[in-house]
Amino acid sequence: MDQKMQAPDPEGAARVLHEVAERSAKILGEFAKKDHASSFAAAAGDELGIAKAYMDLYSRMLANPAALTAFSANLMFDYMHLWQSSWLKVMGAPAPAVAEPAKGDSRFKDDDWRSNFLFDYIKQSYLIAARQIQHAVASVDGLSPESEKKVAFFTRQYVDALSPSNFALTNPQVLRETLASGGQNLLKGLNNLLADIEKGNGSLRISMTDEKAFQLGRNVAATPGKVVYQTELMQLLQFEPTTAEAYRTPLVIIPPWINKYYILDLRPSNSFIKWALDRGHTVFVLSWVNPDARLAQMGFEDYMKQGPLAALEAVEQATGEREVNFIGYCLGGTLLGATLGYLAQKNQIHRVRSATFFVSLLDFSAPGELGVFIDEAQVQNLEKKMNERGYLEGSEMSSTFNLLRANDLVWSFVINNYLMGKDPFPFDLLYWNSDSTRMPARMHSFYLRNMYLKNLLGVPGGITLDGVPIDLSKVTVPAYFVSTAEDHIAPWKTTYRGSRFLGGEVRFVLGGSGHIAGIVNPPAANKYHYWTNEAHPDSADEWFATATRRPGSWWEDWQAWMDARNSGQKALARRPGDGALRVLEDAPGSYVMLRLGS
């Protein structure tokens, strides 16, 4: 910590203070104009049910004084042990740590958290308190499952927020920067904070990357192609081939419509679309529109009819092929499953040669921590908001997803942007993550109620789309499911249960990492690993117990699986515009260009 303080830069400080003053005045003026009654009502009404859950917790804790006494005693013993260990360390004696950060916890990676007596003590004090608080909360008996999930989740949020790494005076890295810059980092951080509030129109919208470093069609979403068809809800992109010959059966990708399709087309080095083209696939992708109030009454069945069903007909016109290989990613995979059920009932399932599901839920019985935000009361409140404006704002859903990994996707940026005063680093994946889209009110209400609340997709006839009862057991096309071991959005054991709903051959593969990084994992990167199993037993635990761990990326396993089902049938590669569909515009198309707030 022995850093020399830099002489103040009066001109730089004056410039930053001037920007701060201008931004503050503008934000305060906008705040004064707004009607805050609905915000105050939401807070008072406890829409998330947090207050109710904690009142239930406190009443049960008070009813068990022995447990409270044990918690206090354990906390005291841990602190006494820490005090003893710290003094032994000061005197040069070996002393093991009382509390260590979890593996992968990057908050305390700075050397001073270990080597400096004071910061090591602060770190361990925090970790002890965090451990004991979360243990005490988890040990309370008699809570309803809903209250138990909410208490566990929001206690973790509270504990994470109070980490000493999140405060300037208890973060050694921030203190060093403050001394070295003469406090310029804190001034610049304040300016960054105000800029993010401006960007969020009065709400904090944390900048995760330098958005000016990316341009759609130039350095992201840049694989050459054309828009060859469109509906109100999607544009169909066909990409230029990169091989002389291609598989006869086209590959059609259905991305989720909470984000843009180009998660699968970031840079050439990690683009799944580019990789598939290089392996001889004729690739089409649905690029969903960013809906506004005009599309409020578009339902789940509209997304099916104007999405994969419309694409099926359009691809036939473009290529002359009646069959396609489908891929569905996340929510796109849920839609794919429903679409296959629809086609099976309409005796049209023969038009799909294979179906691949990327981290997709067909069963919603255990949706993980997302379930904290989805119960009857919360869905009713959300429906009220959506019906007022016609849609769910994409940034609201994005904020919920970020909370699932708050230390990585919230607090790390608070430290970098506001305490260190640094600009966020250009990162294509985080640029995509900030490019979320809205959800039409009718569609999203149907999705939350019938999938998350009632879990009806896997029930034969549980949901009806365009007058057709959906039965996934009638889906007999070969299916490839890939999930990821650390997925917080689509937990892999739940996706495994969904894979059992289908009535045909299923291959289930488990990748490393999470919902995005585990999917966007090109073989050339040589990262992570994956598990395979030729069997498909009843439970995920049975599957994993006999699975084989393999190095590298599951992409090549998928390609081998596809080769076996396409029988090597190839033809001259087809270019956009070769068939009956005319080219409408260049990829990535106009639908993908509309960013929130633009």
Q: For residue range 389-415, list pLDDT tens digits in order.
A: 999 988 788 888 888 888 888 999 999
Closest CA to 186 of 209, 164, 167, 200: 167
Q: Which residues of the chain have pLDDT under 50?
A: 5, 36-37, 39-44, 597-598
pLDDT given for residue 42 in this prediction: 47
Q: What is the CATH number of the domain that holds 253?
A: 3.40.50.1820
Q: 63-67 contacts: CB < 8 A, separation 24 or more?
A: 64/140, 64/141, 67/136, 67/139, 67/140
Instruction: Tell me: do 83 and 159 sit in the same domain.
Output: yes
Whether residues 554 and 471 share a domain: the answer is yes
The answer to whether residues 455 and 572 belong to one domain is yes
Q: Which of these, 3, 434, 514, 426, lies nearest to 210 by C-alpha position?
A: 426
- 138, 250: one domain: no
Say if residue 138 is in the same domain as residue 182: yes
Boundaries of domain holding 444: 225-393+438-579
In a domain, 215, yes or no: no
Confirm whether 500 is domain-assigned.
yes
Domain count, the chain: 2
The per-residue pLDDT for 15 is: 65
Q: What is the DSSP string of 423-436?
A: PPPP-HHHHHHT-B
Residue 430 lies in a domain: no
pLDDT, position 374? 87
Pairing of strands 251-254, 324-329: parallel
Residues 68, 74, 80, 84, Cα dihedral to 10°: -170
Does 592 reside within a domain? no
In one-letter notation, the amino acid at residue 41 is A
The b/e string for 50-89 (b: 16+ C-beta within 10 A; e otherwise) is: beebbebbeeebeeeeebeeebeeebeebbeebeebbeeb
Tokens of 591: 């639908």
User: C-alpha 353: how far from its chain's center?
Assistant: 29
Query: Which sequence positions are flagged as catalytic?
Result: 330
Q: What pLDDT is attached to residue 50?
A: 85
Domain match, 238 and 187 both: no
Residue 367's pLDDT is what? 92
175 and 26 part of one domain: yes
Q: Is residue 246 domain-shared with residue 179, that is, in the same domain?
A: no
Q: Residue 369 has what pLDDT?
A: 86
Shared domain for 186 and 258, answered yes or no, is no
**Per-residue pLDDT tens over the stretch 245-259:** 999 999 999 999 988
* 411 assigned to some structural domain: no
Whether 259 and 384 map to the same domain: the answer is yes
Looking at residue 598, its pLDDT comes to 41
Angle between helices 50-62 and 145-161 (to 10 degrees): 100
pTM of structure:
0.89
Q: How far from 476 is each of 215, 358, 483, 509, CA to CA, in Å?
A: 42, 18, 21, 19
